[in-house]
A and B are shown apart, each in its own frame.
Chain A
Amino acid sequence: MPDARTDGLPLLEIQGLRKSFGELEVLRGIDLDVAAGSVLAILGPSGSGKSTLLRCINFLEAPQAGSMRLGELRVDCAKSHKRDRLELRMRTAMVFQGFNLFTHRTVIDNVMEGLVVVKRMGKDEAEGLAHNLLGKVGLVDKERNYPGQLSGGQKQRVAIARALAMSPELMLFDEPTSALDPELVQEVLGVMREVAGEGMMMIVVTHELGFAREVATDVAFMDGGRILERATSSEFFENPREERTRQFLFQITPDYGYHI
């Protein structure tokens, strides 16, 4: 199997992605390259299509046009095969705003689910792996609990462990800290920082500018279903090119102007 991480091409390549809900055009032609090992933060006002873009990459929404390539897997969105969609989902992993843990299963069963059902791994092996991952996110002592017994931050850490268990090539985070109480945000960002530090390719839709600035290698700014500005993280925050980007940064960080 060719190693997509070393052949110099971007690992994820999106071209001309379009998505409408009825009359409403949410994505108006998205082109996006993400290199292996990079962390891309997608910023933008609400309704700009950030989450829809993320969901399209995972085919939770089916785009009407465009193409995607992840490593050597190419998918033509308009006529994708079920096999390709499953393959794409297996090689990516999603972390949701609302955690979306399986509430009828224990914490460790949540992490094992994809391993046992999708990867057909033996129970013992899956349990060992899940145990290690829960250790990594600091929740070994909650293994036998049900999600209903956890705090929001703990739930999101379980969701990250569940996603990591699939050893994805790309992790997608859809506003992972937006549903959390403020004091629980850091524990989740901490785990994400650690995962990013290990070279995991990540796309993060977020409102956490601090996180985007510190952890993301690249930033894409979306508005009105288009990517308006794409830059390295330091370029983006220190020297945004577009007027709309400056406005946005100014709006959500009132003291932003003083940095310029």
Chain B
Amino acid sequence: MQGLLDWDYMLRSIPRVASGIPVSLSIACIAFLFGILIGFALALIKLRKTPFLRPIAALYVSFTRGTPLLVQIFLCYYGIPLILRYLNGLYSWDLDISRIPAIAFMYVSFSLNVGAYLSESIRAALLSVDKGQIEAARSLGMTSSQTFRRVTLPQAAIVAVPNLGNTFIALLKDSSLAFAASVPEIIGQAKIAAARSSKFFEAYIVAAALYWIICIAFERLLAFAEKRLRKHEEGILGA
């Protein structure tokens, strides 16, 4: 009698599915890095009430939060080549759009998406810094940029770490949507493996297990980082 699962097949398919890990991680890491930059810029625009840029930033955040990520992926995947082709014609650049790899569009769409979500976390973290400490820094004669770098930013970073970490883990899982644009990340590889063997259930169990292991590893790392960063609060918590 055949078992519920083909264990042997699952073991054999691990290397194949795991070969998507670097792609998944690269989407998550690159999008996270640019997302922080975008989110930071958006947070500053909102906090400083920059004229002209503020309504644009608000529109962008509203659109990103109000539409599914999958739709945003498709918009980038199909839209960016069209826009580039148009610009190509307009300025007679010599750009070969067909040679841009699909993953480049994933970097763009995931960065834009995560940037919008991070902007609120970063803004809240910046606002959480004690005004009194900012005044103390100013009263020592620090310029506003020195105060920002030496007092506001380090403390906001500590506050933001748990939120940033959770966003990263969510982003890592969301990167699975890149399969829709035929990017060979973990799910993409599982699909390819399963299409040949028709063992879809097994292939996706392997993919799920890989995601789970990676996420647990990052959660551990995050908890460790948080503990290190909050060293200065030991006295308060211990009292």
Chain A positions within 8 Å of B, measured between CB atoms, are 58, 60, 86-87, 89-90, 92-94, 96, 98-106, 113-114, 117-118, 145-150, 159, 162, 166
Contacts A/B (CB < 8 Å), 14 sampled: A60-B135, A60-B138, A92-B139, A96-B135, A100-B136, A104-B154, A104-B158, A105-B232, A114-B140, A117-B146, A145-B235, A146-B231, A159-B136, A162-B136
Q: Does B132 contact A (CB under 8 A)?
A: yes
| Cross-chain contact of A162 among B132, B140, B151 (Cβ < 8 A) | B140
Chain B 137-161: CB-based contact to A (< 8 A → 1; otherwise 0): 1111111001000110011001000
Report whether A100 and B140 are in contact in the complex, using a CB–CB cutoff of 8 Å.
no
In angstroms, Cα B233 to Cα A145, docked, is 10
Q: Does B6 contact A (CB under 8 A)?
A: no
Q: Does B166 contact A (CB under 8 A)?
A: no
- Smallest CB gap from B150: residue in A: A117
Q: Does B236 contact A (CB under 8 A)?
A: yes
In angstroms, Cα B220 to Cα A47, docked, is 51
Report whether A100 and B158 are in contact in the complex, using a CB–CB cutoff of 8 Å.
no
Question: Given A113-B150, A114-B141, A104 and B136 touching (CB < 8 A)?
Answer: no
| Cross-chain contact of A148 among B130, B138, B142, B235 (Cβ < 8 A) | B235
Residues of A within 8 A of B140 (CB): 89-90, 93, 113-114, 117-118, 162, 166
| Cross-chain contact of B232 among A92, A104, A159 (Cβ < 8 A) | A104
Report whether A102 and B151 are in contact in the complex, using a CB–CB cutoff of 8 Å.
yes
Report whether B142 and A117 are in contact in the complex, using a CB–CB cutoff of 8 Å.
yes
Report whether B142 and A100 are in contact in the complex, using a CB–CB cutoff of 8 Å.
no
In angstroms, Cα B135 to Cα A98, docked, is 11
- Smallest CB gap from A87: residue in B: B141
The smallest beta-carbon distance between B50 and chain A, in angstroms, is 20
